Structure 1
Amino acid sequence: MSRRHVVVATGLGPVTIVADGECVVGLYFDDQARRPDDSHFGDAIGAASDELLTAASSQLAEYLAGERTTFDLPLALTGTDFQRRVWAVLEEIPFGETVTYGWVAERLRGKGLSYAVGRAVGSNPIGVIVPCHRVIGADGSLTGYAGGLERKQALLTLEEPPAEDAGRLF
């Protein structure tokens, strides 16, 4: 199977999911920074005609509906060795948790790598599924997200635990 893609409507705007062979290789918002030219996405197809893109579209919809906390898709991340190491750390960040760029750098045994980590996080080709939105600034601020800070906030809000019933008696 060759490279192909589908565009999925979401509450965060259109999302392009790209597959190559038996792996998802990209997930991009329309106005995302560092989004490759559409010519890199291969043929546009209907998700229903492709098992992998159907699964990816369904899992994304379930995640955005609050019905899924992890993705179960074969991924192929293309980048430098350093970028792939950063993205592997991102995949370990649990649903509903955030970490800092410095924390990711420390996991890579490079305290002074926060800036390089930030560049690698921003170059993540499979956003949302590889949860780069879970990385925040050292002061807890929302910094840098290729899909836009408004979407980053929306994704983090989606992952917040439900508020306890304040009137509940124990």
Structure 2
Amino acid sequence: MRTEKFLSACAVGAWILHPDYFSACQSQNAFVDEEKYEWSAIWSPKISSLVNAPKYCRLMNKSRKVYENWNVLLLIDEKRLGGFKRLIELGGGYVSTSEDSSSFTHVITDTNSASALRIDAFKSRYPNAVIAKTDYISEFLINGDSFDPSYFIL
């Protein structure tokens, strides 16, 4: 469920609608109010934090983007880099893959790309940055105000 498409839709504040929305539009022969059909815990109570993310992000995007003011150094596997970069940029953040800047707010890495020694070096070089695992990005997006970063900080 935590696909790039789903997370990207959340990041931009898009409506995520239950399929019944399309049936309702078809029967009315017009677009109907989305709010009644917004995917939420009513439709899928077992995964409530995940399904509530789109609405949280949509409402949040009215005042600011979810990753606004993030200046992120991404140090992850090349295959995954594009998806994370797109997600952060859609959410209003800036992404770099060069370690030359000293103004990073976040250094995001995966365990394959960062040894303990390298993580300690990042902490010294970027003392004001959050150094975290890649899951930090999606968890921040999905859990909103109830997000506990301690599970993801390196």
Question: Normalized against structure 1, the TM-score is what?
Answer: 0.24
Question: Normalized against structure 2, the TM-score is what?
Answer: 0.26
